[in-house]
């Protein structure tokens, strides 16, 4: 059972192709991360799923309904798209009441979502006095109003303080445990790695990866960082391991980084012992999502701009 299914989904804005034949299937229940560099097509995808823009070609289904008929599923979808937008002169409660009325929801639902995001007590204040974090909480409250089966959140922890981030992280996990699907679009990859079970990576409107976060992390070569008991033995240890066929390099002056899986620790230890060196520490290190992401998508905006220009040139010729 998939919550979202797309086939060849394409959207062009004049000469620019924001999304290029995207085909993916996202599982129901759980937290799904949607990542990609700026201009990769994330926002375009979200807007299409919410019926705000129409695809140039291709098809997509949300909650088993075609995106051409958003009225059939948007009552079961909550969303926070880009920055939370409200009427600044109205109170938080009035803003939520206005959205609740629009959806035909009863007034007590507003109290429930205010409580959920921790804004009870501040709800009578006009939104223009709210900090970015409070606006963000209000945006999440608005997204929660319809008690959604599918929640789409764009940068949900933007502007939140550390305790707020932990709260929202807990809220997303609770929703996922309750069988809801939460799609989180974010640039905070450490956050995505912590919160998400499933990941979608988009670059230049193309799908780069779609699958469990654990599978992606497992793709990176694991390493073990080791240190000899005496720092002066570090160079000898490096030579010893290299001679034994290990791929090894300096991690720092007195630490070595060996390409090896965690279970190969004992072999490493025996190799060092054969050379009369005692290891004082052995730390398995796995590549972070951030490293993998940069490897897949480019390291900087300049890289991306250059790559996009090259791609456009190739297409033109």
Partner 1 sequence: MINTLRSELLRTRRKGVVIGWFGLTILFTVMINMVMAQVVGSSNAQPEGGPGVSFPTLDQWQAADGITAGLSSAAGMYGVVALSFWAIVTAGDYSSGLIRLTASAQPDRVKLLLGKVGALVLWTAAVTTVALIADLVIAPVAARSADLDVSAWGRDALPTLAGAWFNLFATLLVWGVIGLVLALVTRSAAISISVGVGYVLVVEAVITAALDAIADWTPGATLGALAQGGTSAIPYGTALTLGALYTLLGLGVALVVFKRRDITD
Binding site for partner 1 (CB under 8 A): 13, 47, 50-54, 70-71, 74, 77, 79, 81-83, 85-90, 94-95, 97-99, 101-104, 142, 145-146
Please report how close the Cβ of residue 78 comes to partner 1 at its closest, in angstroms.
Answer: 9
Q: Is 229 helix (H, G, I), strand (E, B) or coil?
A: coil
Nearer of residues 152 and 237 to partner 1, judged by Cβ: 152
Residue closest to 84 by CA, chosen among 33, 22, 140: 140
CA angle 304, 305, 310 (to 5 degrees): 95
Nearer of residues 51 and 164 to partner 1, judged by Cβ: 51
Please report how close the Cβ of residue 140 comes to partner 1 at its closest, in angstroms.
Answer: 12
Please report how close the Cβ of residue 139 comes to partner 1 at its closest, in angstroms.
Answer: 8
Please report how close the Cβ of residue 33 comes to partner 1 at its closest, in angstroms.
Answer: 21
- In angstroms, the CA 202 to CA 19 distance is 9
Nearer of residues 50 and 208 to partner 1, judged by Cβ: 50
What are the backbone angles phi and psi of residue 73, rounded to the nearest 5°? -130, -20
Please report how close the Cβ of residue 186 comes to partner 1 at its closest, in angstroms.
Answer: 18
Nearer of residues 97 and 217 to partner 1, judged by Cβ: 97
Tell me, letter by letter, the H, E, C secondary structure of 9-69. Answer: EEEEECCEEEEEEEEEEEECCEEEEEECCCCCCHHHHHHHHCCCCCCCEEEEEECCEECCC
Nearer of residues 142 and 304 to partner 1, judged by Cβ: 142
- In angstroms, the CA 81 to CA 93 distance is 20
Please report how close the Cβ of residue 153 comes to partner 1 at its closest, in angstroms.
Answer: 13
The CB-side HSE value for 97 (13 A sphere, CA atoms) comes to 9
Nearer of residues 24 and 79 to partner 1, judged by Cβ: 79
- The secondary structure of 187-198 as a DSSP string is S-HHHHHHH-SE
Helix or strand (DSSP H, E) at 242: helix 234-243
Nearer of residues 99 and 195 to partner 1, judged by Cβ: 99
Residue 70 token pair: 């958003």
Nearer of residues 65 and 225 to partner 1, judged by Cβ: 65
What are the backbone angles phi and psi of residue 306, rounded to the nearest 5°? -65, -45
Assess contact for 216 and 198: CB atoms under 8 A. Answer: no
Sequence-distant (6+) residues with CB within 8 A of 91 are 123, 124, 125, 126, 127
Please report how close the Cβ of residue 205 comes to partner 1 at its closest, in angstroms.
Answer: 16
Please report how close the Cβ of residue 254 comes to partner 1 at its closest, in angstroms.
Answer: 53
Please report how close the Cβ of residue 192 comes to partner 1 at its closest, in angstroms.
Answer: 23
- In angstroms, the CA 282 to CA 249 distance is 15
Assess contact for 172 and 31: CB atoms under 8 A. Answer: yes
Nearer of residues 13 and 301 to partner 1, judged by Cβ: 13
Q: Is 193 helix (H, G, I), strand (E, B) or coil?
A: helix
What are the backbone angles phi and psi of residue 303, rounded to the nearest 5°? -55, -45
């Amino acid at each position: 059972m998939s919550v979202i299914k797309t086939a060849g989904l394409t959207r062009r804005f004049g000469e620019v192709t924001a999304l290029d034949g995207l085909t993916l299937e996202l599982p129901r229940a759980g937290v799904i991360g949607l990542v990609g560099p700026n201009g990769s097509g994330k926002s375009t995808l979200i807007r299409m799923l919410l019926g705000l823009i129409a695809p140039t070609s291709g098809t997509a289904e949300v909650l088993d309904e075609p995106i051409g008929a958003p009225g059939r599923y948007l009552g079961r979808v909550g969303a926070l798209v880009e920055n939370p937008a409200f009427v600044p002169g109205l109170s938080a409660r009035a803003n939520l009441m206005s959205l609740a009325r629009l959806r035909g929801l009863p007034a007590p639902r507003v109290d429930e979502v205010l409580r959920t995001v921790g804004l009870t007590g501040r709800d009578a204040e006009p939104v223009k006095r709210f900090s970015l974090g409070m606006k963000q909480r209000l945006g999440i409250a608005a997204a929660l109003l319809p008690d959604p089966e599918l929640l789409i959140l764009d940068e949900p922890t933007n502007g939140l303080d550390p305790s707020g981030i932990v709260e929202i992280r807990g809220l997303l996990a609770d929703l996922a445990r309750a069988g809801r699907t939460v799609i989180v679009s974010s640039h905070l990859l450490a956050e995505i790695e912590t919160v998400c079970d499933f990941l979608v990576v988009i670059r230049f409107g193309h799908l780069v990866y779609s699958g469990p976060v654990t599978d992606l992390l497992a793709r990176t070569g694991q390493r073990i960082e080791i240190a000899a008991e005496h720092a002066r033995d570090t160079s000898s240890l490096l030579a010893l391991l290299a001679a034994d066929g290990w791929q090894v390099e300096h991690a720092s002056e007195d630490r070595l980084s060996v390409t090896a899986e965690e279970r190969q620790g004992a072999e490493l230890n025996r190799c060092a012992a054969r050379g009369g060196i005692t290891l004082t520490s052995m730390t398995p290190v796995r590549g972070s999502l951030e490293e993998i992401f940069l490897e897949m998508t480019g390291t900087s905006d300049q890289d991306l701009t250059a790559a996009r220009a090259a791609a456009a040139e190739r297409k033109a010729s």
